[in-house]
Chain A
Amino acid sequence: MKREAGWLDRIFDVVVHAIILGLVAVTLYPLLYVLFASFSDSGGFLAHRGFLWRPIGFDLGAYDSVLRNPGILIGYRNTLFIVVAGVALNLVMTALGAYVLSRKNVLWNNAFMFLIVFTMFFQGGLVPMYLVVKGVGLLDSLWSTIVPFAVSTFNLIIMRTAFQSIPDSLEESAKIDGANHPTILLRIVLPLSLPVIAVMILYYAVDKWNGWFYASVFIRDRDLFPLQLVLREILIANATDSMSTGASAGDRYQLGETIKYATIVVATAPILCVYPFVQRFFVKGVMVGSLKG
């Protein structure tokens, strides 16, 4: 019987690796496409069809156009602040909420859950939101993109599910040892939830990194514009490919295509590095065997 299982296992392995390899190839392509396109000569790129195996010609024009914009460095600086401060606030708030909501025998938990989930379905709209943010005095500061988004309901639910999977016995025995809730949260629940914390960091960081819309609404001072907003302006400015009263024949129009790709590279490269960093948190639950029954 063991031998049969071994043979089946080998096929299983091959199939698994093949599928994954195929998926990797297919998902790598868009990234390579963007990369190659950003280094391409724009005219040649426009003419090209089909698979992009390598840059068409070699032209740093797109990058030059994007990077010479003085707003880029400012954008990076602002976004960095937003990500660090924002994720920190997010983690604290979400962990607090998820912890409480995952405890059993709390009378109000169901009501809380419903009210919180309800907000995913009904929103008041942009202007009421604007008035609230103005009312609390956050307008025109980087915090206006952080505080009103302190908790993502979706993430809250995920973290709560994760906290729920920690055995009650651990909480019980901690209580017997005289621990109060904050201690349980910090000493027991969080250390055992490293994978989900890693996921939260990733989700929140990506969300903050990509944000531009609310910054465009709440922030007037250009020195506080986050990166994506700066890049978006560049994209829009270069996308004007048919101006009504026309302009002279200019390379600017052609550059428009490759600028799009250079922008994506500049906008995305840093955040892509977060995941490998965060991967190391994905460790198998160490303690689970420690408590039986």
Chain B
Amino acid sequence: MANSRAALSNGRPAGMAAKRSRFVRDFVLNKYLYLMMVPVIAYYVVFHYAPMYGAVIAFKNYTPVKGILGSDWVGLKNFSDFFQSYYFWRILKNTVLISVYTLLFEFPAPILLALLLNEVRSRAFRRTAQTIVYMPYFISLVVICGIITDFTNADGVVNHLFTLFGYDGQAMLQKPGLFRPIYVLSEIWQHVGWESIIYVAALMNVDQEQYEAARMDGASRLKQMFYITLPGIAPTIAIMLILRIGNLMNVGFEKIILLYNPGTYETADVISSFVYRKGLLEFGWSYSSAVGLFNSVINLALLIAANAVSRRVNSSSLW
């Protein structure tokens, strides 16, 4: 033990012996941990990695009878079909923009809510508010979008409100320029409560003593919120942010399809909705799989980058 430690501290690679003993040392030290990890690793191997070869159909012209491994290899044809579409850049742009806007506006909302709820002293009020605010998450998307459409239609309640301020009164969902705001705002409406739960839980771990100290120094509640509470949940925020960035390309098609129409395609049509329409014309498993792979690769790259940045900036990261 002393030998290898000395060897390592010299800064010179001490050769295979030292490397191997590093592994051995680690194993000896952590063998219980590895043992505890076995069921989890087994789970991932059996249910995630074993089926993963299926992802390769993106490169094939899939036919059920030949199976995945037997189907003809068409290389990048499925991808080029996708990239060469007249609308490729538009749907890519829309996907990215919608994700970025959602990141900018919808991501912080639950954090703010958790902070605000933390400041409420009446336990009854806080508990009731928490219970109600997360409910839209459970209402099916079809109903939510139905309500949105109804409110923003000509003569709808929200629409009416805006006409008082000079809006021209047409159905808001037919204007391309309004699609993204409506989408993002309704995302907040639907998710802010549910997503705040994790931050509320994280807040429980913030050291109470710091508040005491701050109060004695006369800091206002607002200041306390910024200098104690927020930093206290910074690791949680960082991890959630990394994961969100790793989902950038995943703008789900259901909500888009429920809210869009050909009049708003130019801002609303995203990759998933475009692929969905193609699927109605002809189901190409290989085509949609290729698109999915494209999305996944970009997402993973973004995640790795975000993770690296986070590691450097505040040392909470995935690896």
Could you tell me which A residues sit within 8 Å of B by CB distance?
1-2, 5, 8-9, 12-13, 16-17, 19-21, 23-24, 26-31, 33-34, 49-51, 93, 96-97, 99-100, 103, 105-110, 112-125, 127-129, 131-132, 136, 147-151, 154, 157-158, 161-162, 164-165, 180-182, 185, 195-196, 198-199, 202, 260-261, 264, 268, 271-272, 275-276, 279, 282-285, 288-289
Contact pick for A5, options B157, B218, B303, B316, CB 8 Å: B218
Chain B residues near A162 (CB-CB < 8 A): 201-202, 205, 236
Contact across chains for B155 and A49 when beta carbons are under 8 A apart: yes
The distance in angstroms between the C-alpha atoms of A109 and B33, with both chains bound, is: 10
Contact across chains for B129 and A49 when beta carbons are under 8 A apart: no
The distance in angstroms between the C-alpha atoms of A268 and B136, with both chains bound, is: 11
Interface size class of B (residues with CB under 8 A): 35 or more
Q: B141-164: contact bitstring with A at CB < 8 Å (1 yes, 0 no)? A: 011100100100001110000000
State whether the Cβ of B133 lies closer than 8 Å to any Cβ in chain A: yes
Name A184's closest neighbour in chain B (CB-CB).
B32
State whether the Cβ of B170 lies closer than 8 Å to any Cβ in chain A: no
The distance in angstroms between the C-alpha atoms of A118 and B222, with both chains bound, is: 40
Contact across chains for B52 and A122 when beta carbons are under 8 A apart: yes
Chain A residues near B299 (CB-CB < 8 A): 121
Contact pick for B50, options A13, A108, A132, CB 8 Å: A132
The distance in angstroms between the C-alpha atoms of A19 and B113, with both chains bound, is: 9
> Which of chain B's residues 250-273 have a Cβ closer than 8 Å to chain A?
none
Name A280's closest neighbour in chain B (CB-CB).
B127
21 sampled A-B residue pairs with Cβ under 8 A: A23-B133, A30-B135, A30-B144, A97-B37, A100-B37, A105-B30, A116-B44, A119-B49, A123-B48, A123-B52, A123-B54, A127-B54, A150-B47, A151-B44, A157-B243, A158-B236, A181-B33, A181-B36, A271-B138, A285-B206, A289-B208
Contact across chains for B36 and A96 when beta carbons are under 8 A apart: yes
State whether the Cβ of B207 lies closer than 8 Å to any Cβ in chain A: yes
The distance in angstroms between the C-alpha atoms of A120 and B68, with both chains bound, is: 21
| Minimum distance in angstroms from A178 CB to a CB of chain B | 13
The distance in angstroms between the C-alpha atoms of A24 and B264, with both chains bound, is: 31
Given contacts A27-B136, A195-B205, contact A158 B239 (CB under 8 A): yes
Contact pick for A124, options B55, B119, B205, B303, CB 8 Å: B55
Given contacts A106-B26, A161-B235, A288-B205, contact A112 B37 (CB under 8 A): yes
| Minimum distance in angstroms from A279 CB to a CB of chain B | 6
Contact across chains for A16 and B120 when beta carbons are under 8 A apart: yes
| Minimum distance in angstroms from A83 CB to a CB of chain B | 15
Contact across chains for B119 and A16 when beta carbons are under 8 A apart: yes
| Minimum distance in angstroms from B5 CB to a CB of chain A | 14
The distance in angstroms between the C-alpha atoms of A120 and B178, with both chains bound, is: 32
Contact across chains for A99 and B218 when beta carbons are under 8 A apart: no
Main secondary structure of the interface of A (DSSP, over half): helix
Name B316's closest neighbour in chain A (CB-CB).
A161
Known: A124-B55, A128-B54. 12 other contacts (CB 8 A): A9-B221, A105-B26, A107-B23, A107-B26, A110-B319, A121-B299, A129-B54, A161-B316, A162-B205, A264-B140, A282-B200, A285-B207
Contact pick for A24, options B132, B155, B198, B200, CB 8 Å: B132
Contact across chains for B129 and A24 when beta carbons are under 8 A apart: yes
Given contacts A5-B218, A195-B205, contact A28 B200 (CB under 8 A): no
Contact across chains for A132 and B47 when beta carbons are under 8 A apart: yes
Contact across chains for A13 and B22 when beta carbons are under 8 A apart: no
Name A9's closest neighbour in chain B (CB-CB).
B221
| Minimum distance in angstroms from B65 CB to a CB of chain A | 13
Chain A residues near B200 (CB-CB < 8 A): 195, 282
Given contacts A123-B51, A283-B204, contact A157 B239 (CB under 8 A): yes
The distance in angstroms between the C-alpha atoms of A116 and B23, with both chains bound, is: 21
The distance in angstroms between the C-alpha atoms of A4 and B212, with both chains bound, is: 18
Chain B residues near A151 (CB-CB < 8 A): 40, 43-44
Chain B residues near A181 (CB-CB < 8 A): 32-33, 36
Contact across chains for A285 and B205 when beta carbons are under 8 A apart: yes
Contact across chains for B127 and A279 when beta carbons are under 8 A apart: yes
State whether the Cβ of B134 lies closer than 8 Å to any Cβ in chain A: yes
Chain B residues near A105 (CB-CB < 8 A): 26, 29-30
State whether the Cβ of B219 lies closer than 8 Å to any Cβ in chain A: yes
State whether the Cβ of B39 lies closer than 8 Å to any Cβ in chain A: yes
| Minimum distance in angstroms from A16 CB to a CB of chain B | 5
Contact across chains for A125 and B57 when beta carbons are under 8 A apart: yes
State whether the Cβ of B21 lies closer than 8 Å to any Cβ in chain A: no
Contact across chains for B119 and A100 when beta carbons are under 8 A apart: no
Contact across chains for A49 and B54 when beta carbons are under 8 A apart: no
| Minimum distance in angstroms from B103 CB to a CB of chain A | 17
| Minimum distance in angstroms from B125 CB to a CB of chain A | 8
Chain B residues near A147 (CB-CB < 8 A): 47
Contact across chains for B139 and A264 when beta carbons are under 8 A apart: yes
The distance in angstroms between the C-alpha atoms of A97 and B293, with both chains bound, is: 28
Contact across chains for B208 and A26 when beta carbons are under 8 A apart: no
The distance in angstroms between the C-alpha atoms of A282 and B204, with both chains bound, is: 7
| Minimum distance in angstroms from B162 CB to a CB of chain A | 15
State whether the Cβ of B318 lies closer than 8 Å to any Cβ in chain A: yes
Contact across chains for B243 and A182 when beta carbons are under 8 A apart: no
| Minimum distance in angstroms from A149 CB to a CB of chain B | 8
